[in-house]
Structure 1
Amino acid sequence: MTFYTFTENKLRQFTERVFLKMGCPLADAQLAADVLLKSDLRGIDSHGVARLSGYVRLWEKQRINANPVIKIVHETATTATVDGDSGLGLVVAPFAMKIAIEKARIYGSGWVAVKNSNHFGIAGYHSLMAAEQEMIGISMTNASPLVAPTYSSERLLGTNPMCYAFPAGKYPPVIVDMATAAAANGKLEIAQRANQPIPEGWVQDSTGNTSTNPHQLKEGGSLLPLGSDKDHGSHKGYGLSATVDIFSAVLSGANYGPWVPPFVAFLEPPTDPVGEGIGHFLGAMRVDGFRPAQDFKDHLDNWIERFKSAKTVDADKKVIIPGEPEFAYEQERRISGIPLIDVVVNDLNELAKKLEIEGL
């Protein structure tokens, strides 16, 4: 396994070229590239440029509309439902979050449900949009059914991430960004590329037995909910995942549960859909709708400092603030570059050849 390092600008230009070749307008190509690069910069390698080939394959299957007409189809003063017109979720979700932020700016909070979309990258990107406006940002999405509910061996839910972003004062925002499965599917993909086993408790085989095989999903197995199994609180992860599914899809009119279309192009969407595309849910709340914004940020700074000074069971380890590792990655990678495994580099260069664009 070999790593190659690329500058942020090099990967950004390459990614924009891919989206432009798909037929995306320039602004959309730049936005989609920004979402993916944010993932790589923040150390979430599973959701960055490594996903480019997947988006292209879905576009080739005509399951992604490169030039969508995104519109509001239902609205009140503080809420809206957006139809993404089968567009890139990387473009549709920021469109929806901008609506939520504008409603929050006027009324204190804004809530937007999205249908007819696709994979939207890392949830943290969208929540951060609100945090940068002194708002609390919330984002979540349902996803391809890979997760079995507690006591089941049947795939009915996605990894269904949820993210909450809170603006701080002198510290970076507190960002709670997590999948509601025991592990995100992207982590399995990383293990597959590295040909390494995965920890116990991430997946089960088709009969419900735990497995360390990173290819288990291809062999009929399923991911487990957060908590891993019934003896370790998997019902809590199942409940969180169900919440994301209902907010993102039952509320918006998107597909939910086993009807969510798969991210991989070689699998066809269900022939009996109950909605349109993949669903998201985004929200923004003005901090000063509850107390003066500076007071909140000062106290969140104090919260951070108190937790950072907590006694630990290991003197060499400190309590980690949610979002802190990702912020550190971003600061470091903007300077030293973004590492990509050789398998990903080869895949991206093959993609460049196919699209007849300049490679890495």
Structure 2
Amino acid sequence: MRISSLSEKEFLEKVFAARQFSKSDGALLADTLVDADLRGISSHGIQRLAWYTSMIKEHIIEPQNKLKVIKETPTSLLIDANKNMGQIATAFAEKQLIKKTQKLGLSVAVIRNSNHFGTAGYYARMAAKQGLIGIALTNTRPLVVPTNATEAFLGSNAFAFTFPAEPHPFVFDGATSIVSSGKIQVLAKNNQPIPGDWAVDDHRRVMHDAQKVEDNLAKVAFTEKQPGGGVLTLGGLLQSNSNYKGFGNSLVVELLTGILAQGSISADTNKPGHHDFSQFLLTINPELFGNLDDLKKSAEEMFDRLRHLKHLPGTEIMIPGDREYRRYAENLKQGVVIDDKTAAELKTIGEELAIPVPEAI
């Protein structure tokens, strides 16, 4: 079914208020989920609410905890998210970096003791809106099997990069694994098979049953005893397809998040008392190197040339960000899509908190 983004946001804000988040924090959390749904990234939208709710009940997330700035310089921040949602610490850090970068040209932040933070692109776009280059990274729970391995060790380790441009900024936002776990969750909820070679069992055999993979990933992520298997790195199953490059990309994210922030690496986030993710943010003022309008024009000309390359009939060449901005405009008018299982989860949450759920449009 479809619901209006406005009713989705109102429902989410009421749920987060009932879960003891401050009004401003609840509004931010709601906005990140609605933004993902509007862009067609349902894996990181309202379908995450049941997971967030369970982590709040288990005190993995502490809604009333305040973040702590551990160390600050004119061009850097080290932040302790203090077991609250990753969105809260990351949005705060990004706003501070934008101010620093506007003064000094570039700045960087690392965050530890955090949680899931939605889509990485949400924060990178905050920089792009101010005419800056934005980079955002996060590690995650252990889901990904390295090259030739049979057990999960790495996170899906998202990477987002933005560059100012018109009619919208360049936005690359994706996992360094072959796919995020959220996309497998969405397939499982819709009783659909995995269409590609995304995940393997404990003998590194490809699995296409989305529910079985999701059940296995839940065991990997929330128990100390690894049952084996997980999501593949970029490049897929075989080393001959250069899957070691995806492995390397994921390790770069681990180094810049868990290691640099002195938090947990993905492999250790499932240990008792942990479940702490880490994030990395970098903002750069392109005017360190040239006039912003000239740089934007050069980027736009390159994108336009790419879009008009010869291509297969019935297809089109899209630049990262094109699809999401197109979906955003469409879903703003038509409403966002909610699968039946997520709708049932929202009904349960609504009944528990006495909050009316959004109606289909």
Q: How would you bin the TM-score normalised by the shorter chain?
A: over 0.9
Residue 109 (structure 2) pairs with residue 82 (structure 1):
no
Q: Is the 8 A contact 2:266 2:277 kept in 1?
A: no
- Scaled by the length of structure 1, the TM-score of the pair is 0.93
Whether the 8 Å contact between 2:190 and 2:340 is mirrored in structure 1 is: no
1:36-84 superposed Cα distances (whole Å, 9 cap, x missing partner): 1110000000100110111111011111111221121012221111111
Question: Residue 200 of structure 1 contacts residue 210 of structure 1 at CA under 8 Å; is this kept in 2?
Answer: no
Tell me whether 1:348 sits opposite 2:343 in the alignment.
Answer: no
Alignment of 1:163-202 (within 5 A): 163-168=160-165, 170-202=166-198
Indicate the SS of the match to 1:11. Answer: helix
Is 1:283 matched with 2:263? no
**Whole-angstrom distance in 2 between the partners of 1:59 and 1:130:** 30
Matches within 5 A, 1:259-278: 259-260=268-269, 269-271=270-272, 277-278=276-277
SS at match of 1:288: helix
Name the Cα RMSD after superposition. Answer: 1.3
Q: Deviation per CA, 1:191-216, whole angstroms, max 9, x where unpaired?
A: 11111211342001111111112122
Q: Determine helix, strand or coil for the equivalent of 2:338.
A: strand
Q: Deviations over 1:8-39 (max 9, x none)?
A: 11000001011101101101100110111110
Match of residue 235, structure 1, among 244, 250, 257: 244
1:79-118 map, 5 Å = 79-118=76-115
Query: 2: distance between equivalents of 1:217 and 1:9?
Result: 30
> Distance between the aligned counterparts of 2:302 and 2:127, measured in 1?
20
Task: Indicate the residue corresponding to 1:266 in structure 2.
Answer: none
The answer to whether the 8 A contact 2:176-2:250 is kept is: yes
Structure 1 range deviating more: 12-21 or 229-238: 229-238
1:233-264 Cα shifts (integer Å, max 9, x gaps): 2111111111111111100111103102xxxx
Compare 38-47 and 222-231 and name the one that shifted more: 222-231
Q: Secondary structure at the match of 2:148?
A: coil
State the distance in 1 between where 2:309 and 2:98 align.
35
Question: What stretches of structure 2 of length at least 5 have no aligned partner?
Answer: 217-226
Verify the 8 A CA contact 1:200 1:211 in the aligned structure 2: no
Identity between Structure 1 and Structure 2 (%): 30
Q: Does 1:52 align with 2:49?
A: yes
Structure 1 293/126 Cα, relative in aligned 2: closer, same or farther at 3 Å? Answer: same
Partner of 1:128: 125
Match of 2:223 in 1: none
**1:305-344 matched pairs, under 5 angstroms:** 305-312=304-311, 314-344=312-342
Task: Give the counterpart letter for 2:25 in structure 1.
Answer: D
Q: Kindly report which structure 2 residues correspond to 1:188-227, keeping only aligned pairs within 5 A, or say none.
A: 188-214=184-210, 215-219=212-216, 220=227, 221-227=229-235
1:312-346: CA deviations, max 9, x gaps? 1x122121101110000001111111111111111
* C-alpha contact 1:217 1:223 (8 A) present in aligned 2: no
Structure 1 residues 193 and 272, CA gap change in structure 2 (3 angstroms): closer
| Contact 2:136 2:161 survives alignment (8 Å) | yes
Q: Tell me, yes or no, if the aligned pair for 1:101 and 1:283 is still in contact at 8 Å.
A: no
Residue 131 of structure 1 aligns with an amino acid whose one-letter code is A
Distance 2:58 2:273 in 1: 18
Q: Is 1:11 aligned to residue 8 of structure 2?
A: yes
Aligned to 1:263: none
TM superposition shift of 1:272: 7.8
Q: Given the alignment of the two structures, is residue 258 of structure 1 paired with residue 263 of structure 2, yes or no?
A: no
Query: What amino acid is the match of 1:292?
Result: N
Contact persistence 2:76–2:109 (CA under 8 A): yes
Q: Which residue of 1 aligns with 2:221?
A: none
Q: Is the 8 A contact 1:111 1:281 kept in 2?
A: yes
SS at match of 1:30: helix
Letter in 1 for 2:230: S
Q: Is the 8 A contact 1:115 1:277 kept in 2?
A: yes
Q: Counterpart in 1 of 2:258? A: 249
| Counterpart residue identity of residue 177, structure 2 | A
CA distance in 2 between partners of 1:67 and 1:104 (Å): 30
Q: Distance in 1 between matches of 2:5 and 2:16?
A: 17
Secondary structure of the residue that 1:318 maps to in structure 2? Answer: coil
Distance 2:91 2:143 in 1: 25
Question: Contact 2:133–2:164 at 8 Å: present in 1 too?
Answer: yes
Which residue number corresponds to residue 140 of structure 1?
Answer: 137
